[in-house]
């Protein structure tokens, strides 16, 4: 028993020695996730509105975007952005390339979530808005989208959590985030269990914050899921 406590004490001390690195890389994960989530919402809402616009060209472009991204592994898309775009003269830091890749990737899934919410709103409400003299855009913005946004909070939360965890993939393009920090520490100390558990608990805490915020939004707007 004493030996077990000694091992536990050593493990905790080892993590404490690397607490500053964990804190810095956790903040970076939060920054990467926040930027990617914002971009994914912009891409997703835009694509969903394009699909429902009635324009064959806009709808076709949106469907092509969703089809391509949903059928492509996230890691491949990250490589395409970081290693592929420089061949066309567009160079970005690993951080901005990661945000762009994750945001565009998640945006395709957000588009399907938003589109499903739009389809769930009775078409008659849109037609009523048009009958009152509203343009298609104003009818969507003032009548349809407020109802859609309330109903899609849970699936948007799931997608945001998935995106947060996908920031770990950015270690493959040299973004020194939480996962890469843990791997570097393991290479120095040869203690994989402690550092992977610590990283997992940090990700768990971050996802719990997102889930709790989502629950608050549901309660704030009278949603009971």
Give the pLDDT confidence score for residue 12 in this predicted structure: 82
Give the pLDDT confidence score for residue 199 in this predicted structure: 96
3-state secondary structure the chain: CHHHHHHHHHHHHHHHHCHHHHHHHHHHHHHHHHHHHHHHHHHHHHHHHHHCCCCHHHHHHHHHHHHHHHCCCHHHHHHHHHHHHHHHCCCCCHHHHHHHHHHHHHHHHHHHHHHHHHHHCCHHHHHHHHHCCCCHHHHHHHHHHHHHHHHCHHHHHHHHHHHHHHHHHHHHHCCCCHHHHHHHHHHHHCCHHHHHHHHHHHHHHHHHHHHHHHHHHHHHCCCCC
Q: Is residue 218 very low, low, confident or very high in pLDDT (cuts 50, 70, 90)? A: confident
Q: How far apart are CA 131 and CA 133, in angstroms?
A: 5
Q: Is residue 141 very low, low, confident or very high in pLDDT (cuts 50, 70, 90)? A: confident
Domains and CATH numbers, the chain: 24-220 (1.10.3720.10)
pLDDT, tens digit (0-9, with 9 covering 90-100), for 35-62: 999 999 999 999 999 998 888 999 999 9
The span from the first CA to the last CA of the chain, in angstroms, equals: 46
Determine how many CB atoms are found less than 10 A away from the CB of residue 3: 7
Whether 1 shows a pLDDT value over 50: the answer reads no
Whether 2 shows a pLDDT value over 50: the answer reads no
Determine how many CB atoms are found less than 10 A away from the CB of residue 46: 17
The verdict on pTM exceeding 0.85 is yes
- Sorted by sequence, the CB contacts under 8 Å of residue 126 that are 6+ apart come out as 136, 139, 140, 143, 144
Where do we find the tokens 């309330």?
150
pLDDT, tens digit (0-9, with 9 covering 90-100), for 147-206: 888 889 999 999 999 999 999 999 999 999 999 999 999 999 999 999 999 999 999 999
Determine how many CB atoms are found less than 10 A away from the CB of residue 147: 15
Query: Looking at 10-19, 58-67, 93-102, which range is the least confident one?
Result: 10-19
Q: How far apart are CA 172 and CA 74, in angstroms?
A: 12
Give the pLDDT confidence score for residue 4 in this predicted structure: 61
| Torsion sign over Cα 35, 39, 44, 46 | positive
- Sorted by sequence, the CB contacts under 8 Å of residue 82 that are 6+ apart come out as 92, 94, 97, 98, 101, 173
């Amino acid at each position: 028993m004493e030996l077990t406590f000694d091992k536990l004490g050593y493990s905790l001390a080892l993590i404490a020695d690397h607490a500053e690195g964990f804190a810095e890389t956790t903040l970076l994960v939060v920054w990467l996730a926040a930027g990617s989530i914002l971009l994914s919402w912009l891409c997703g809402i835009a694509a969903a509105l394009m699909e429902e616009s009635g324009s064959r060209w806009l709808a076709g472009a949106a469907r092509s975007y969703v089809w391509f991204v949903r059928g492509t592994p996230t890691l491949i898309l990250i490589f395409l952005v970081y290693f592929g775009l420089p061949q066309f003269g567009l160079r970005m830091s690993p951080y901005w390339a990661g945000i762009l890749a994750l945001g565009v990737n998640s945006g395709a899934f957000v588009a399907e979530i938003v589109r499903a919410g739009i389809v769930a709103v009775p078409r008659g409400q849109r037609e009523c808005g048009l009958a009152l003299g509203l343009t298609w855009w104003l009818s969507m913005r003032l009548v349809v989208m407020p109802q859609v946004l309330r109903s899609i909070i849970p699936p948007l939360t799931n997608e945001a959590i998935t995106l947060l965890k996908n920031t770990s993939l950015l270690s493959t393009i040299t973004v020194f985030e939480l996962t890469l920090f843990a791997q570097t520490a393991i290479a120095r100390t040869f203690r994989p269990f402690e550092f992977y558990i610590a990283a997992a608990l940090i990700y768990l805490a971050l996802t719990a914050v997102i889930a709790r915020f989502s629950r608050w939004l549901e309660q704030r707007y009278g949603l009971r899921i």
